[in-house]
Amino acid sequence: MFASLARFTTHRSKLVLYLSGVLLVLAGALGGGVISTLSAGGFTDSSTESARTAEVLDGRFGSGAPNLTLLVTDERGVDDPAVSAAGARLTERIGAEDGVEQALSYWTLGKAPALRGEGGDSAMVLVRITGDEDQVQKTLERIQPEYDRTVEGLETRVGGVAVANKEITETTSDDLLLIEMVTFPVLLVVMLFVFRSVVAALVPLAVAGLTIVSVLLTLRVLTLFTDVSVLATNVATGLGLGLAIDYGLILLKRYREELHGGADTDTAIATALRTAGRTVLFSAVTVALALAGLLVFPFYFLRSFAYAGIPTALLAALVSITFLPALLKALGPRIDKGRVLGRGKEEKPPKPETERFWYRLATNVMRFPVPVAVAVIGLLLFLGSPFLSLHMSLADDRVLPADTQSRQISDLIREDFSAQESQALNVVLNDTPPTGERSIDAYAQKLSTLGNVARVDSEAGSFAAGEQVAPPGPGSERFSADNSTYLSVIPKSESLSEEGEELVKDIRTAEAPYDIQVGGPAAELVDSLDSMYDKLPAALAIIGVTTFVLLFLFTGSLVLPLKALVLNCLSLSATFGVLVWGFQDGHLEGIVGDFVVTDTITWTVPVLLFCIAFGMSMDYEVFLLSRIKEEWDRSGDNQLAVARGLERTGAMVTAAAGLIAIVWLGFVLSGISYLKAIGLGLAIAVLMDATLVRGALVPAFMRLAGRANWWAPAPLARFHKKFGLREAPDAVKEPATKESVH
């Protein structure tokens, strides 16, 4: 296949380049506006109790969790008669807007104390915009300008979940442009040092550019059939840039080796495709399968990264083995034009293989495999220890920069209001007697005595600390429906917290007079984590089994795939530990930019990090094992194969890791805190994998395992001989030489 591909791309190079140019223009035109079609949600599972409760509240009661908050202030005080009248008119006015299902306020709920600021000059209007996320955003776009100003003589500012989602989308778009503007010049400078030529440095960036616009077009098509998270564009861009550079680097390195060895352009391209091209394609499949683990989760936020990441990996490989060879054919020997380092100096002859850095590193590690392994594993376990105290939560406005409006308004509400009115838990009681015949007073009183409950509102009035504090009022009828009712349980503290999770569990286990279901932000957090934990074993099984099978097909060994899985999990646990220490505990606050320390990590971060980083670490594993396997097939000497394999890939893997780390570190510039965590985590994972794992643990392990590295039962060995994947044709074994490491 690769021989035919090489002939086509070299003999029809102008056609391939022309088609690539057409693709670039079309993909840029059609996919460039993809962000406007993406969504900011996707963190909840529609099959959970909290999701079903939201549907019941919407369909049966015309109610639900407020997703828009108006913070109203007036220096006369919110209890001034004129202000009260204006506040009531404001509530009625926004409640009558198209797309608004419900509007309640301090003035329409009998001056509920929790909706009044402690200073007495501010109050809240809680608004429920109906529809899915896209409909909510359209309604918000229409009404926000009308209420984000002085209305009815009152100073009004708009915040809440809907505004936060809008600002996440806008911030994501701005961040993407900023990250590209910063990382591309830095990458180019670093690549000049790697390739020592302007032309050679630009080639992988050209591959990356074509890959990224192709991915954006793919995402645009996907939005026609399913919801896709807006943050998928950031990760797809980072992954596309990183993988395209990786794949361009390995192919270009092999091509230049052949070219400098005396081969003509066509032969060099054919050899590079037949060897490194196979590795690139295999690597892309490995990355894609690792990301496929995200598809099992019932959250379109997570699935979006599989929708984006799988085609990104495959497109990066496809562009690398089609567009890149055609470009190399067009450039020919001019690939080395524009040398900027070492110009005018006589090049020194290369050192003997045994005196080169990576060969000497491998041999030194293999002389002392046990001490090296113990020291590195000890360091990784130490770095990973904070991971034991991981606490996850849903994302809210606190992931946004401090200057965003939703964040500012929510901070003011947290500081000035006594209860989390907009984060109430909703407890629906089903199959009750009709209105007037049911009694829920005792149940409402019981719930009001639970820890962390500020107040319980119901059709029977309001209750606090086991006592009725207000009789049924003007807003009480909203809790009633035929044969059903619901209670609003307002927490004292932040809903998305450990206390909020405990409150959900307490309500669900408390004895109730009728069948209940619980919804609200804290219930969504509990249900989302439960759904994630339920699906996690399946995701891990997909990743583990497919990776194991592919590495077996590549190496013919059962030991090496197991080694890869164990070492990758070990290095990833260290990465998670650093993130918990830095973001959950707040030690990196100020170092990677300002963010709110919530004593939690957004729950999607560890899952995403595991799948993406696992796939990328397998990327480097394939690069290394391909050369080690090639040397093992040639010499039959395990230690020599490891030393030569590391020597021939060490510099390349380190350069690739450094370049892709720059890409991911660019995400630290993001204003969204969990994008900072994802970017920093992936950069740490890549660098740790390329240095501590590939440079120390792999040689140490392979030295200790010896010839057992290549063991497989006889039936599987025969299967691999017939169906296994190889980078190059079977090599003729050479006898061990004096260079063998003993």
Task: Tell me the per-residue pLDDT of 253-282, one tens digit each, with 9 for 90 and over.
Answer: 888 878 777 788 888 888 888 888 888 888
* Farthest-apart Cα atoms in the chain, separation: 99
- Backbone phi, then psi, for 306, in 5-degree steps? -75, -45
Cα-based distances in Å from 691 to 359, 654, 698 = 14, 7, 10
Question: Residue 448 domain-assigned?
Answer: yes
Three-state secondary structure string covering 251-296:
HHHHHHHHHHCCCCHHHHHHHHHHHHHHHHHHHHHHHHHHHHHHHH
Query: Is 204 in contact with 253 (CB distance < 8 Å)?
Result: no
- Statement to judge: residues 187 and 330 lie in one domain: yes
Question: Residue 669 domain-assigned?
Answer: yes
Question: Residue 280 domain-assigned?
Answer: yes
> What is the total count of domains within the chain?
3
> How would you class 546 by CB atoms within 10 Å of its CB: exposed for 0-12, middle for 13-18, buried for 19 or more?
middle
- Statement to judge: residues 174 and 291 lie in one domain: yes
Q: Residues 723, 726, 731, 735: is their CA dihedral positive or negative?
A: negative
Q: What pLDDT does residue 349 have?
A: 64
- Statement to judge: residues 325 and 308 lie in one domain: yes
- Statement to judge: residues 539 and 482 lie in one domain: no
In the block, residue with structure tokens 């089609």: 322
- Statement to judge: residues 453 and 554 lie in one domain: no
Q: Which residues of the chain, if any, have pLDDT below 50?
A: 343-346, 727-742
pTM score, whole prediction: 0.87
d(C-alpha 317, C-alpha 277), whole Å:
8
Question: Residue 731 domain-assigned?
Answer: no
Question: Residue 534 domain-assigned?
Answer: yes
d(C-alpha 631, C-alpha 244), whole Å:
26
- Statement to judge: residues 598 and 580 lie in one domain: yes
The last residue of one of the domains, among 452, 485, 519, is: 519
Question: Residue 18 domain-assigned?
Answer: yes
- Statement to judge: residues 373 and 270 lie in one domain: yes
Which three-class secondary structure state does DSSP give residue 602?
strand
DSSP state of 727: S
- Statement to judge: residues 312 and 446 lie in one domain: no
CATH number at residue 328: 1.20.1640.10
- Statement to judge: residues 586 and 682 lie in one domain: yes
Question: Residue 86 domain-assigned?
Answer: yes
d(C-alpha 141, C-alpha 673), whole Å:
25
User: Roughly how many angstroms between the first and final C-alpha of the chain, as a whole number?
Assistant: 39
- Statement to judge: residues 93 and 137 lie in one domain: yes
Question: Residue 543 domain-assigned?
Answer: yes
The last residue of one of the domains, among 519, 551, 572, is: 519
Sheet holding 100-105, edge to edge: 100-105, 122-129, 68-73, 154-159, 150-151
- Statement to judge: residues 182 and 154 lie in one domain: no
Pairing verdict, β 461-464 and 453-458: antiparallel
- Statement to judge: residues 88 and 228 lie in one domain: no
Q: What pLDDT does residue 733 have?
A: 47
Q: Which residues contact 448 (CB under 8 A, 6 or more apart)?
A: 455, 456, 463, 464, 465, 466, 467
Domain that holds residue 459: 425-519
d(C-alpha 500, C-alpha 8), whole Å:
62
The last residue of one of the domains, among 519, 536, 566, is: 519
The 10s digit of each residue's pLDDT in 129-169 is 988 888 898 999 999 999 999 999 999 999 999 999 899 88
CATH number at residue 141: 3.30.70
In the block, residue with structure tokens 């080169």: 356
